[in-house]
């Protein structure tokens, strides 16, 4: 006899190495946090950096609630929002998708499309940049620039990415100065139009890329006159383009990978 399972359907998508599971909110369990933790597990679950839960919205095409891989809820992911836009376009082809996030509505403009691969430029809003300040860590002191893209970031400029940068970033992320945690970017300047970036995100850890982190890295670089807009941000997951023209615009790809069902 074939066993009967309760199953929740999902679509998996990828944006510059950041992977997300996209699930219709009609399937949301009472405890979305613990379920997101389970399904994001890379051994016992499907595996992802986070889950984008989708709901109807009166003023946008879709509303997305993002839960990180550890079950914590985040305001927004630039790459996750791009994945949501790709999902919406795959269902109903269009040139523009508006997504309500925890940081407000973001408009995604389709710039190219080839089968299951999409490219969008997202209007990410106006950044908030604070003064550079230092914090004390176990191994010494580090200086960084706080940037908000609707979620908090701390950008540290380095000459190179040392073998222990992840441990340093993890310590920064849980520093008592950041009561709600913070996303950490390490940035190395290549030239006036190109930077390298590494990411250590709240609720996830090291990621191959980050949309809001890419924006924060570019904004901090432009603010300190280390480079000028537009900037190509090189990450382990690929290259994204950031231009700062009143508000910040992020351009990059999103790929729909597969669909399936997760047994509850």
Shared domain check, 199 and 98: no
Shared domain check, 241 and 160: yes
pLDDT for res 139: 80
- 172: nearest Cα among 164, 115, 215: 164
Shared domain check, 171 and 111: no
List residues bridging with 15 in a β-sheet.
18
**What pLDDT band is residue 3 in, cutting at 50, 70 and 90?**
low
How is residue 139 written in tokens? Answer: 């191994």
Shared domain check, 106 and 19: yes
Q: Tell me: pLDDT of 135 over 80.
A: yes
Q: Which of 16-20, 51-55, 102-106, 136-140 has the lowest mean pLDDT?
A: 136-140
- CATH number for the domain including 51? 3.10.310.10
Check: CB of residue 214 under 8 Å from CB of residue 92: no
b/e map 106-145, b = 16+ CB within 10 Å: bbbebeeeeeeebbbbbbbbebebeeeeebeeeeeebebb
**What pLDDT band is residue 2 in, cutting at 50, 70 and 90?**
low
CA–CA separation, 22 vs 13, rounded Å? Answer: 7
Positive or negative, the CA dihedral 164, 166, 171, 177 is: positive
How is residue 191 written in tokens? Answer: 């030239």
* Mean of all residue pLDDT scores within the chain: 96
Shared domain check, 208 and 192: yes
Check: CB of residue 149 under 8 Å from CB of residue 74: no
Q: Tell me: pLDDT of 1 over 90.
A: no
pLDDT for res 191: 96
Shared domain check, 139 and 179: yes
The whole-number average pLDDT for the span 214-226 is: 98
Positive or negative, the CA dihedral 169, 171, 177, 179 is: positive
Shared domain check, 116 and 137: no
The reply to whether 2 falls in a domain is no
For the segment 188-208, what is each residue's pLDDT rounded down to a tens digit?
999 999 999 999 999 999 999
Check: CB of residue 134 under 8 Å from CB of residue 143: yes
- 64: nearest Cα among 50, 53, 72, 56: 53
pLDDT for res 5: 79
Shared domain check, 120 and 22: yes
For the chain, the first-to-last Cα distance in angstroms comes to 19
The whole-number average pLDDT for the span 37-53 is: 97
The reply to whether 1 falls in a domain is no
Q: Distances in Å between the alpha carbon of 227 and those of 73, 93, 100, 134, 197? A: 33, 37, 31, 22, 14
pLDDT for res 108: 98
pTM: 0.95
234 CB neighbour count, 10 Å cutoff: 17
Domain that holds residue 80: 7-124+252-263
């Amino acid at each position: 006899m074939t066993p009967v399972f309760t199953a929740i359907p999902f679509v998996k998508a990828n944006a510059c190495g950041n992977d997300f599971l996209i699930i219709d909110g009609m399937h949301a369990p009472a405890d979305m946090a613990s379920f997101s933790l389970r399904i994001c597990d890379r051994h016992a679950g499907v595996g992802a950096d986070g889950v984008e839960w989708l709901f109807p919205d009166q003023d946008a095409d879709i509303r997305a609630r993002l839960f990180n891989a550890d079950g914590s809820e985040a305001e927004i992911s630039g790459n996750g929002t791009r994945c949501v836009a790709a999902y919406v376009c795959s269902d109903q082809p269009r040139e523009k998708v508006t997504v309500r996030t925890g940081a407000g509505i973001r408009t995604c403009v389709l710039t190219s499309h080839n089968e299951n691969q999409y490219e969008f430029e997202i209007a990410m809003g106006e950044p908030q940049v604070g003064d550079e300040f230092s914090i004390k860590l176990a191994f010494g002191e580090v200086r960084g620039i706080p940037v908000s893209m609707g979620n908090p970031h701390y950008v540290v400029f380095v000459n190179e990415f040392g073998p222990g940068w992840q441990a340093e970033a993890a310590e920064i992320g849980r520093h008592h100065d950041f009561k709600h945690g913070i996303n950490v970017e390490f940035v190395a300047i290549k030239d006036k139009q190109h930077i390298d970036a590494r990411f250590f995100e709240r609720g996830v850890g090291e990621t191959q890329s980050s949309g809001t982190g890419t924006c924060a890295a570019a904004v901090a670089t432009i603010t300190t006159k280390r480079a000028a807009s537009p900037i190509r941000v090189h990450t382990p997951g690929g290259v994204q383009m950031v231009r700062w023209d009143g508000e910040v615009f992020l351009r990059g790809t999103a790929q729909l990978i597969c669909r399936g069902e997760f047994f509850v």
